Every structure is written in structure tokens, then in C-alpha cells.
């Protein structure tokens, strides 16, 4: 055995999603088992995700040969996210990582990912294919560009500065990964995990790894459909806790739609014979309802139920205050001689900003995502 760089004995669980990998599974497992030494013991959870080739049979043969291996079959193919969800809950090691069943990643580099965790410097460590000075197979330009764009957008939403969000190599403290409720069944699990880790404000590290990517002819499965899903997942799982500037950009679409509704309601009420004050007030109330429903559906994703008197009062207070501002500004601009549509439009722009601030910090308060933030105990 080689001398381990790990400072103490560690048990690592590797979850290995497997779908139609009969050509590489045995070789992959052999490579993984070779990294065991006096300080590193392994548990390998192979989740066969409804393979149609001999992958499951090979996995069961391997389990008979090596007591470290646990095989969990899925009756039908569900996707990588579903396989990870199953495997993470089966894990019993101190730390839990992901190992694909192909040969794109080098298991010998797992110990470098483990070091920050073992030294209690990190809670999660990502292996970055773009920080490495090691071997990196040259493949598809558009895949590289897509990965870079996805990582950039993910960082905008999560307030992290990762270099490789879509990497397979991720190692977590077991209590961390088993506390994450994975929703995605396919490759959307990668941005989902990053979003939920960012929301937990954990200590996150990256370390460079080599990468031996494969072509579609060699069995690569991810495609453009998964790229579009990844963008959706970045928005879906990060929006409620994204940095305020990003949330405001998203709110512009919601607020813009609500402002348009406000203007249409106002002009319709004026045309029906209502006075400017009543029309402005009723139009604002209708637009506020549209705004609220869009906010809970797309941005803050607050559960739409009134669970306390305080919540009702805070929401109504924000609506009344911003409504009063809207009415006052509309009347002021009309007094200055602006056309009704222009007076209402200008006041709606100011209302847009105050609406966002009220909803972000009063109605739907959320702790922001991002890197580690020390937890302050009561009395400190």
C-alpha cells in the first residue's frame, strides 16, 4: 500500500450512477478500489438506473467479489439525479462523493478533494476540470462554451465563484448531502445541488482535476435538451435566494407585466367614468394582485397561504404604502399637466422599485445564498 496523504482514517462512500455502462463499469470499479490504503476505506453504492445491457449483472458480480460494494437497482431508467437521490440515502461513510461509471475522471485524484474536508476546512469540495494543470482531453467546443455559460449564470444566481458547476466530482460531508432534498431526475441535478449548497452557506472549495472526456460514439449521454433544463434549474432553485441585483432584474419582468396591467386597468376605469383618484387606487390594487401571484409563482416561490396575522398585515401595509405613493405621484404628475398615460407610467416606474424592495425585504424575506457565513450564537 502507498502512504496516504490523509492525516487520519476516513471512510468515503462513492455513489456510482450506472446506465448501460457494461464496457467501462468493471474497469472503473477496479480503478476506484486501487485508491484504498491504510487511511482510506471505501463504500461503493452502484445504482443501476434501469440498464438494458449487462451493467446490472456485472455490478452484482462485483458485489460478490468485493464486500465494499452495494448494488441498488432501479426497475426503469429515471436519470442521474434519481440515481444520486437513491445512492445518497444509502451512504454510510463519513464523506460522500460521486463517481461516474465511465472513465472520464481519475479516482486517484479523489484524495486531493478529501483533504479540505478531512482537515475541517470545507463542507463540500468540487473537482474543477478548468483549474487543472493535468491531462484534459480536447473535445467539443460548444460543450465547453455551454459549460462555461452555465457556470457563469449559476454563479450570478448563487453568488459563488465556481469554475466548473457541471463537474461530476463532488464530495460532501454525509450530513450535508443527506439533508438535501433532490428534485431533479436527470442532469439538472448538477445546478440543483449547487443552488442548494449555496443556500446552506457552507464552506465550499474547488480543486483541479484531470478530465478524459468521451465522445457520443463512446457513450456520452448529455445533450442540448439537458442544457436548456440546466438553465431552467438555475433559475428554479436559485431565484428565491439570489443576490438582490439579480432578483431585481427578474422582478423587472414581473413588475413590467404588473405595471402594464396597472396602466390598462387605469385607462379602462377612466373610460368607464371613474375619477382619477378612484381609478388609480383600483388599478393599483388589481396590479398588486397580479404582481403578488407572479412573485410567488416565479421569483420568491413563497407558499401561497396566509399562515399568520403578521404576514397578512405586512403584505397589506406594503400594498397600502406603495399604493398611496402611486396615487399621490399620479395626481402630482396630472397636476403638472402630463397626459394620463404618461403620468401613470412614470409613477409606475417608481412603484416598481418600491414594490420590489417591499416584497424582497418585508413580504418574502429570505436569507441570501452564497459562500460560507459564520453562524453567530445567541449572546455572542
* pLDDT surpasses 70 at 133: no
* Cβ-Cβ contacts under 8 Å for 151 (sequence gap 6 or more): 162, 163, 164, 165, 166
For 213-253, write each residue's pLDDT tens digit: 655 555 555 667 878 899 999 999 999 999 999 999 999 99
Measure the CA–CA gap between 152 and 165, rounded to whole angstroms.
9
Q: How many CB atoms neighbour CB 191 within 10 A?
A: 28
From first CA to last CA, the distance across the chain in angstroms is 47
CA proximity to 24, closest of 15, 12, 14, 16: 16
Evaluate if residue 171 carries a pLDDT over 80. yes
Q: Which pLDDT tens digit goes with each residue over 322-357?
A: 888 888 998 999 999 999 889 888 888 888 888 889
Asked if the model's pLDDT at residue 7 lies above 70, the reply is: yes
Identify the bridge partners of residue 136 per DSSP, sorted by sequence position.
211
Residues 6+ apart with CB under 8 A from 224: none
For the chain, the C-alpha Rg in angstroms (whole number) is 26
Half-sphere exposure (CA, 13 Å, Cβ side) for 364?
28
Domain segments of the chain as ranges: 10-241, 244-363
**What predicted TM-score, i.e. pTM, was given to this entire model?**
0.84
CATH of domain 10-241: 3.90.550.10
Amino acid at each position: 500500500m502507498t502512504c496516504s496523504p490523509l492525516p487520519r482514517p476516513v471512510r468515503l462512500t462513492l455513489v456510482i450512477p450506472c446506465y448501460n455502462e457494461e464496457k467501462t463499469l468493471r474497469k472503473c470499479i477496479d480503478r476506484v478500489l486501487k485508491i484504498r490504503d491504510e487511511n482510506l476505506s471505501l463504500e461503493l453504492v452502484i445504482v443501476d438506473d434501469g440498464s438494458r445491457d449487462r451493467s446490472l449483472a456485472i455490478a452484482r458480480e462485483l458485489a460478490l467479489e468485493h464486500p465494499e460494494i452495494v448494488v441498488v437497482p432501479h426497475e426503469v431508467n429515471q436519470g442521474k439525479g434519481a440515481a444520486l437521490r437513491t445512492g445518497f440515502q444509502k451512504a454510510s461513510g463519513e464523506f460522500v462523493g460521486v463517481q461516474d461509471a465511465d472513465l472520464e475522471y481519475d479516482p486517484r485524484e479523489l484524495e486531493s478533494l478529501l483533504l479540505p474536508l478531512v482537515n475541517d476546512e470545507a463542507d463540500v469540495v468540487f473537482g474543477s476540470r478548468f483549474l487543472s494543470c493535468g491531462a484534459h482531453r480536447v473535445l467539443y467546443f460548444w460543450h465547453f462554451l455551454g459549460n462555461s455559460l452555465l457556470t457563469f449564470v449559476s454563479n450570478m444566481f448563487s453568488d459563488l465563484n465556481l469554475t466548473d458547476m457541471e463537474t461530476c466530482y463532488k464530495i460532501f460531508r454525509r450530513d450535508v448531502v443527506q439533508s438535501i432534498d433532490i428534485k431533479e431526475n436527470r442532469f439538472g441535478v448538477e445546478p440543483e445541488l449547487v443552488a442548494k449548497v449555496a443556500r446552506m452557506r457552507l464552506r465550499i472549495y474547488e480543486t483541479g482535476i484531470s478530465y478524459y472526456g468521451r465522445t457520443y460514439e463512446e457513450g456520452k449521454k448529455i445533450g442540448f435538451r439537458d442544457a436548456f433544463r440546466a438553465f431552467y434549474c438555475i433559475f428554479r432553485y436559485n431565484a428565491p435566494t439570489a443576490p438582490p441585483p439579480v432578483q431585481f432584474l427578474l422582478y423587472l419582468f414581473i413588475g413590467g407585466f404588473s405595471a402594464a396591467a396597472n396602466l390598462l386597468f387605469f385607462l379602462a376605469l377612466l373610460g368607464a367614468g371613474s375619477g382619477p383618484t378612484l381609478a388609480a387606487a383600483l388599478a393599483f390594487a388589481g396590479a398588486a394582485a397580479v404582481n403578488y401571484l407572479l412573485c410567488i409563482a416565479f421569483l420568491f416561490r413563497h407558499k401561497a397561504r396566509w399562515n399568520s396575522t403578521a404576514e397578512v398585515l405586512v403584505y397589506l401595509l406594503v400594498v397600502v404604502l406603495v399604493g398611496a405613493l402611486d396615487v399621490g405621484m399620479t395626481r402630482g404628475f396630472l397636476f403638472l399637466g402630463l397626459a394620463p398615460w404618461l403620468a401613470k407610467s412614470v409613477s409606475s416606474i417608481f412603484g416598481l422599485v418600491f414594490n420590489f424592495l417591499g416584497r424582497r425585504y418585508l413580504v418574502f424575506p429570505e436569507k441570501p445564498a452564497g459562500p460560507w457565513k459564520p453562524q453567530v450564537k445567541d449572546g455572542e
